[in-house]
Structure 1
């Protein structure tokens, strides 16, 4: 019996303006990013796979989820398997992202190692814009309601236990800033799965301690999500952020909820989901999430909101949000106790985010100026972000025609990376660098040849 042509997939490929080869390349990029080296069914495809799927063959393994993600990024909207003409069941990862799912179950199901973790998430689960739709206010109110009773036979949890979780989170946050998210995340996950999970199911000294423990554990889950995001493990990051928001809501910690929503907006921006990013950013600065935050945290929330506005071409609002963020940071001083999670955010970080906003507004000249300010003012302990900033700055410089200037900047990126930074975001700057240099390879510019060869050698070693 002849198969029926998949007209839905054919129409989406036409809308994306993809040839079979381009669709294959996009699929393989998403699969490589998601699987991070793990070999699975359809972890890499050829043009014949796309042709067969258009011809009516139903893809197997993780193929439906990966192809939908590739199309979603290209078309800047959520594409479901059903829209592509595929039959796909709900995966455990997708179920875990349901806002009604218990975050303690999500913690217990993290897995005991990277392979288990990835298999659960990749049983159909990739980064999904549909999972970014936030619950209504009734959900937040219900989550913040204290439990009616606690199990009497559980371990007693006190303020010292809360402080232990906070100290661990800060230590790994500092390491993330130095070495990147690819270093140490599995250790964080193991702690979440065992110690933090047991604390959250414990018997608390009082309700204040309960809320504090849920808040501390939410920050640790957020850190795991941020590290996964930084290392380009986007499906894992989304699940961790989702769990972190639920835990923060249980604690009633509005500013922390805003902090995590801000990170989700940042990730959505990097992946090209502009509208979803703006909704998340708007939620992060809504009500008490912003009003109850300290000045430094308000500046952080505000500048990511500005970036989301700029990405959606709301230029005037973005400019006002930038000015507001600058004002908020100027109000931060030693007399105000800021949460540890904001330790990284200062003049250098504000300049970096401001530069990204200006770049998205089309003002490359001012973007370069702000990137320079970020590089000039950043401390040595923030090596990972330093590499990312330099990568963006080089891209802005070459966009203005400054090829040799960009090469000098990108040389510093490789210097930083070769010191031992494990970061998918920073590595992507090297990939982008080679792409942006490609038009200049045959022009006989010595700096281009030297840098391109060095970048190729670096990527060959880390891939």
Structure 2
């Protein structure tokens, strides 16, 4: 094992960066993509990548000059022999949709290896190809950014936070080189979501504010604006800005209400509708201490979510049960959590869903010796699930 492999050696000019260096905004995205592929697909290097630490320092965004330069200067790639056209861009987009729908049904722990293999073979070759024109180059950078984002989101959902962070940063770099402001905002929103969930609320708010800044919000479609806005509201709520969070929630509701079939939306927003808005709204209300409002919105989310979104359905039920228990409704929480276990036991591979079951047992611990039949039965079932 070399120093370079554990990320301790300085990279020579033109060499592939180490994992920690790849987090730097100055590192070219094609070099970062090569490094991630080498680390994520090789068994020994994958172990090292899995042991990497989520970096709070890497959440600091670059100066505005960086964004302008990235949009003007293509990533550094030697001229390739493969000619890349619009059909190649469409192929990457179609496969991204397929992987994204699978993620929603089964969770981020299912299928990410296949996605990563495609990203680091076919898509990497496309990025090193000869483009028909600059529009195709930008389109391929955007398509690669979405696939990188999805790899990051799946890793985030599966509790692999350092891996997720590296793919998110790669996705932002590629989106910036594509000059795709709404896509940059979409990925920054995901980074904000991750930071907030991990307890870095102030950093999460900074990222969320960046996601709704300028063209990232202004050039986005209504559905995407609503998604950016509701995570901004969560950041505000998590940092104690209740009034500002309420205003942001109202704006997100208005944005979603203005979405319609007559306005084409990017494929990446297909999952975001009333159920998702209600889920994130409930999280914001929970964080400002409005337990009753949070229960109401979590229930709305459960009621309106379609059958194709089982992973998030399980997570929502987990959060709903915890909020009900916090309000003193023990048996009601047990009924909700029983539904969450039904969902996770039905072929869901998700670290977030599994964590909801672990948290369920933690919340139930003060009630274990009170002789409540619903608690005893649910706790035994949850213990059996997490022991596998």
Task: Give the TM-score band, short-chain normalised.
Answer: over 0.9
Q: What is the Cα deviation at residue 106 of structure 1?
A: 1.7
Task: String of CA shifts for 1:2-22, please: whole Å, max 9, x gaps.
Answer: xxxxxxxxxxxxxxxxxxxxx
Indicate the SS of the match to 1:225: helix
- Alignment partner for residue 49 of structure 2, among 113, 121, 124? 121
Indicate the SS of the match to 2:263: coil
Partners of 1:151 and 1:203 within 8 A in 2: no
Q: Size of the alignment, in residue pairs?
A: 375
Indicate the SS of the match to 1:92: coil
Aligned to 2:206: 279
Indicate the SS of the match to 1:99: coil
Partners of 1:232 and 1:424 within 8 A in 2: yes
Indicate the SS of the match to 1:392: helix
Partner Cα distance (2:384, 2:138) in 1: 50
Task: Specify whether residues 459 and 114 from structure 1 end up closer, same or farther in structure 2 by C-alpha distance, changes over 3 A only.
Answer: farther
Whose RCO is larger (CA < 8 A, sep 6+)? 2
Partner Cα distance (1:95, 1:376) in 2: 45
Aligned to 2:32: 106
Aligned to 1:266: 193
Partner Cα distance (2:79, 2:270) in 1: 38
Partners of 1:388 and 1:429 within 8 A in 2: yes
Aligned to 1:211: 138
- 1:12-411 matched pairs, under 5 angstroms: 92-109=18-35, 110-111=37-38, 113=41, 115-121=43-49, 125-147=52-74, 153-411=80-338
Q: What is the Cα deviation at residue 121 of structure 1?
A: 2.3
Aligned to 1:27: none
- Report which stretch shifted further, 185-194 or 254-263: 185-194
Aligned to 2:14: none
- Structure 1 residue runs of 5 or longer lacking an equivalent are 1-61, 66-87
Task: Specify whether residues 331 and 117 from structure 1 end up closer, same or farther in structure 2 by C-alpha distance, changes over 3 A only.
Answer: farther
Partner Cα distance (1:148, 1:219) in 2: 16
Partners of 1:108 and 1:194 within 8 A in 2: no
Partner Cα distance (1:148, 1:253) in 2: 14
Partners of 2:106 and 2:349 within 8 A in 1: yes
Partners of 1:275 and 1:312 within 8 A in 2: yes
Partner Cα distance (1:272, 1:445) in 2: 33
Task: String of CA shifts for 1:3-46, please: whole Å, max 9, x gaps.
Answer: xxxxxxxxxxxxxxxxxxxxxxxxxxxxxxxxxxxxxxxxxxxx
Task: String of CA shifts for 1:282-322, please: whole Å, max 9, x gaps.
Answer: 00000000000000000000000000000000111000000
Partner Cα distance (1:450, 1:153) in 2: 61
Larger Rg: 1
Partner Cα distance (2:135, 2:379) in 1: 56
- Structure 2 residue runs of 5 or longer lacking an equivalent are 1-5, 11-16
Partner Cα distance (2:263, 2:331) in 1: 44
Q: What is the Cα deviation at residue 92 of structure 1?
A: 2.3
- Report which stretch shifted further, 104-113 or 160-169: 104-113
Aligned to 2:3: none
Q: What is the Cα deviation at residue 94 of structure 1?
A: 1.0
Aligned to 1:35: none
Aligned structure 1 segments of 4 or more residues deviating by more than 3 angstroms: 88-91, 146-153
- Alignment partner for residue 416 of structure 1, among 334, 343, 363? 343
Indicate the SS of the match to 1:355: helix
Normalised TM-score (structure 2)? 0.94
Normalised TM-score (structure 1)? 0.79
